[in-house]
């Protein structure tokens, strides 16, 4: 009898251990229902973006603490698989990442250097990315910090250079794994150097490193930096490897009609989803693009945009194949500002195997930069901005009117007839009414 009682007790204990084990397994399985599989930190001049790659849609809560400044994120039923030790090594805003596990929650604590404006939002799967939780830490004085002082050198024409994509948004990816964001930044930096070597021109970068800038913010930064003209650099892509060649785009009030333009505008919208950001997350239709185009109403801005586009195309034709030989129309948000003339240059198709190779070749990148610079320079020499250095050099145009002769014009503009003939490649002294002549600027 006693032995039977002992056996019963032993069986109950074994059963209880089994129940505990099963419950433990169930607890572990529930706890591991989601996981943090990657953490990426993107420092930028005015903000830091932290992206958590999660297996499933994140269930989270967050709050901030002061003295010292910390951001705390609690992930429910989530396991962290990422090493945190070196994540903040190169970031000016986050000093340290640390984590703890308590009651089925993984808590991640970000120790911050000071207090920041905070944005936290989840992103659904898009492109090569799955579910994500995005945290943006913005400098509180960023608007003041990025407003540059009035131009010290009044004669400089300020050229804004916008390297497409960046950070969380890689842009298009070539067959050999080339990221568009790296190609555009490499060309942009080369263009910056070429422009800054040109007397009378100055380049400012909208994006100078591998970080994401919201499309609307790009035009705001251009305005803050007193940009006179904005050039946005991209690399084309299509769903087949066949198309090739460069193209130059300007914005108009008409909707994009060609298959390629619809493809590119749709790609821009998808890139916004890859990079994240409020405007496009809240308005997933393309109505915001149509509204943005309404800003582009000034005839002057459109005229300058088309003028530069035509000159850039002429220069690009000398060094690469063109996909389109005339300026194309597209509803690109980065071109929307009515007070800043602008173009978007597609430097080639990254989806084309040959052009993907060329776009990663430093020498070809330099040729593209030289061509873009050459086209911009030609336009502003022919149509210089008032008060600019270019207004005192180069040429202005004169349309011949009735009663004007070569000798009359030479005397009026204080230039010899022989030089006037040479500049305009005239074989005789005869002029025709309506003929356009180039006249050297003397200041």
Give residue 144's pLDDT: 55
Give residue 270's pLDDT: 59
Q: How many angstroms separate the CA atoms of 131 and 31, rounded?
A: 18
- In contact, 172 and 267? CB cutoff 8 Å: yes
Domains of the chain: 34-141 (2.60.40.3500), 146-266+273-382 (3.40.630.40), 394-440 (3.10.350.10)
Give residue 383's pLDDT: 84
CA 191 to chain centre: 15
Going by their DSSP bridges, the two strands 47-54 and 60-65 should be labelled as: unpaired
Q: How many angstroms separate the CA atoms of 156 and 432, rounded?
A: 36
Give residue 395's pLDDT: 76
Helices (H), 77-167: 142-145
Q: Which helix (H) or strand (E) element contains residue 3?
A: helix 2-31
**Is omega for the bond preceding 68 within 30 degrees of 0, making it cis?**
yes
Give residue 29's pLDDT: 41
Which residue from 319, 308, 310 is spatially nearest to 370, judged by alpha carbons?
A: 319
- In contact, 102 and 90? CB cutoff 8 Å: no
Put residue 200 in one of left, alpha, beta given phi > 0 → left and psi -120 to 50 → alpha: left
pLDDT tens-place string over residues 136-167: 999 987 755 555 554 545 589 999 999 999 99
Which residue from 240, 230, 434 is spatially nearest to 344, judged by alpha carbons?
A: 230
Q: Is the dihedral of CA 47, 173, 187, 310 positive or negative?
A: negative
pTM tops 0.85, yes or no: no
Give residue 282's pLDDT: 31
- In contact, 209 and 182? CB cutoff 8 Å: no
Give residue 129's pLDDT: 85
Kindly tell me the burial class for residue 393, based on how many C-beta atoms sit within 10 Å of its own C-beta (0-12, 13-18, 19 or more).
middle
The string over 107-145, giving b where at least 16 C-beta atoms fall within 10 Å of a residue's C-beta and e elsewhere, is: bbbbebeeebeeeeebbeebeebbbbbbbbbbbeebeee
Tell me the two tokens of residue 67: 């003295």
Cα radius of gyration (the chain): 30
C-alpha atoms less than 13 angstroms from C-alpha of 208 in its C-beta half-sphere: 10
Give residue 230's pLDDT: 93
Q: How many angstroms separate the CA atoms of 333 and 280, rounded?
A: 11
- In contact, 176 and 222? CB cutoff 8 Å: no
Q: How many angstroms separate the CA atoms of 40 and 59, rounded?
A: 19
Q: Which helix (H) or strand (E) element contains residue 292?
A: helix 287-293
Strand partners, 105: 76, 102
Mean pLDDT, 10 residues at a time, over the chain (443 residues)? 51 51 44 86 93 95 95 95 92 95 90 94 85 93 57 77 92 91 97 96 95 86 91 89 91 51 58 51 34 45 88 96 88 65 93 95 98 95 84 81 90 87 89 89 60
């Amino acid at each position: 009898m006693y032995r039977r009682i002992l056996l019963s007790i032993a069986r109950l204990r074994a059963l209880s251990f089994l129940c505990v084990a099963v419950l433990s397994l169930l607890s572990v399985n529930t706890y591991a229902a989601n996981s943090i599989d990657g953490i990426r930190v993107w420092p930028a001049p005015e903000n830091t973006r932290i992206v958590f790659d999660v297996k499933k849609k994140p269930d989270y809560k967050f709050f901030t603490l002061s003295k010292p400044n910390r951001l705390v994120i609690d992930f429910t039923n989530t396991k962290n698989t990422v090493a945190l030790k070196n994540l903040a090594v190169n970031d000016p805003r986050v000093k340290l990442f640390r984590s703890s596990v308590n009651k089925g929650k993984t808590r991640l604590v970000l120790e911050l250097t000071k207090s920041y404006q905070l944005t936290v939002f989840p992103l659904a799967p898009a492109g090569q990315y799955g579910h994500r939780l995005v945290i943006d830490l913005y400098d509180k004085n960023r608007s003041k910090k990025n407003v540059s002082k009035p131009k010290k050198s009044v004669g400089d024409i300020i050229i804004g250079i916008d390297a497409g994509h960046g950070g969380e948004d890689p842009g298009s990816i070539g067959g050999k794994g080339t990221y568009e964001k790296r190609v555009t930044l490499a060309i942009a930096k080369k263009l910056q150097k070429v422009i800054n070597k040109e007397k009378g021109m100055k380049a400012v970068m909208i994006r100078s490193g591998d970080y994401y800038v919201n499309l609307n913010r790009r035009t705001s930064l251009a305005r803050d930096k007193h940009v006179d003209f904005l050039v946005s650099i991209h690399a084309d892509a299509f769903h087949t490897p066949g198309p090739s060649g460069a193209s130059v785009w300007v914005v108009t009030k008409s909707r994009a009609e060609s298959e390629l333009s619809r493809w590119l505008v749709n790609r821009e919208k998808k890139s916004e989803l890859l990079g994240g950001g409020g405007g496009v997350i809240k308005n997933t239709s393309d109505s915001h693009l149509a509204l943005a185009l309404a800003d582009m109403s000034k005839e002057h801005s459109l005229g300058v945009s088309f003028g530069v586009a035509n000159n850039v195309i002429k220069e690009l034709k000398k060094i690469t194949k063109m996909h389109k030989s005339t300026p194309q129309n597209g509803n690109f948000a980065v071109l929307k500002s009515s007070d800043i003339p602008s173009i978007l240059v597609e430097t080639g198709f990254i989806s084309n195997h040959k052009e993907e190779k060329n776009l990663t070749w430093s020498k070809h990148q330099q040729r593209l930069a030289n061509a873009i610079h050459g086209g911009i320079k030609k336009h502003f020499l022919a149509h210089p901005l008032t008060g600019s250095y270019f207004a005192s050099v180069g040429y202005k145009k004169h349309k011949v009117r009735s009663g004007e002769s070569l000798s009359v014009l030479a005397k009026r503009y204080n230039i010899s007839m022989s030089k006037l003939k040479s500049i305009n490649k005239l074989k005789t002294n005869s002029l025709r009414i309506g003929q356009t002549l180039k006249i050297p600027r003397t200041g």
